[in-house]
Amino acid sequence: MALLSDQDRETVRRQLAGMTHQVALLFFTQTIGAPETALIARQILDELVSLSDRIALEEVNFVLEKERAVGFGIEGVPAIVLLRDGEDTRLRFLGAPAGYEFMSLVEAVILAGTGESALTADSKRLIADQATEAIDIKVFVTPTCPHCPRAVTLAHKMAVENPHITATCVEATEFIDLSRKYRVTGVPKTIVNGTIEILGAVPEDTFVATVLNQGPPSAVPHP
């Protein structure tokens, strides 16, 4: 049974039509002991792949291919890694991209498939100047949060713009240990290198500046 209506399928198909690169979705799961959300994630990915011949899906066994998982920084399942023409885009999903997060996945595929961040010129300059070392961005979300995709897509755009940046969308209710570690009580909540947090969906300029530690006092250091 299709997850999307015919109208929604056509809308997404049109959105994907502008892709100029091949995108591979590495789906990390496991045969035994996988959470129920792994099946949901697989259904979502199968449907998305059917909407463009520029998207391919590869299932990776988290247990049997542990070294590969470690190489991409994947610590649990289900997880998704996006490749552009075989190269890592540093765009990640931990958990099933269901509900509102389906559009985050679509946006991520488009970012990977075009290689264009569509950030403002000011944001691009700031990233080029300041992102000179590894930056890890985790955006905690839930499928029912309508504001979360904005934060996820901004993080993914920053990863597209600079090779030092990795951005991961984390489904907070699936990865409870991570949520507890970073004291996630509301979403979206963005954690940068484990030390800076951004609460809520903020404008692009605020988000980019805060991620790069150039932001306003509203960015709260995480002890």
> 206 with 175, same domain?
yes
Domain end, chosen from 114, 144, 163, is at: 114
Cα dihedral 27, 32, 34, 40 sign: positive
> 86 with 132, same domain?
no
- 43 inside domain: yes
The pLDDT score that the predictor gives to residue 34 is 93
> 157 with 93, same domain?
no
Domain end, chosen from 114, 129, 164, is at: 114
- 137 inside domain: yes
Give the predicted TM-score (pTM) of the model.
0.95
Give buried/exposed letters for 146-184 (b at 16+ CB in 10 A, else e).
Answer: eebbbbbbbbbbbbbbbebbbbbbbbbebbeebbeebeb
> 212 with 129, same domain?
yes
- CATH number for the domain harbouring residue 138: 3.40.30.10
> 150 with 211, same domain?
yes
Query: What's the domain count of the chain?
Result: 2
> 179 with 151, same domain?
yes
> 12 with 100, same domain?
yes
Count of CB atoms within 10 A of residue 133's CB? Answer: 7
- 1 inside domain: no
The pLDDT score that the predictor gives to residue 93 is 98
Contacts (Cβ under 8 Å, ≥6 apart) of 190: 137, 138, 139, 140, 151, 155, 197, 198, 207, 211
Cβ(109)–Cβ(152) under 8 Å?
Answer: no
The pLDDT score that the predictor gives to residue 220 is 44
- Tens digits of per-residue pLDDT, 82-127? 999 999 999 999 999 999 999 999 999 999 999 999 999 999 999 9
Give the C-alpha separation, 126 to 129, whole Å. 5
> 64 with 126, same domain?
no
Confidence band for 219, pLDDT divided at 50, 70 and 90: very low
The pLDDT score that the predictor gives to residue 168 is 98
Domain end, chosen from 114, 131, 159, is at: 114
The tokens of 5 are what? Answer: 């209506």
> 108 with 208, same domain?
no
The pLDDT score that the predictor gives to residue 1 is 62
Q: Which residues partner with 87 through β-bridges? A: 84
Range of the domain at 215: 121-221
Confidence band for 216, pLDDT divided at 50, 70 and 90: low
Cα dihedral 169, 152, 131, 118 sign: positive
Is the peptide bond between 188 and the residue preceding it cis, with omega within 30 degrees of 0?
yes
- 85 inside domain: yes
> 11 with 89, same domain?
yes
- Calculate the average pLDDT of the chain: 94
> 100 with 145, same domain?
no
> 15 with 105, same domain?
yes
Count of CB atoms within 10 A of residue 207's CB? Answer: 24
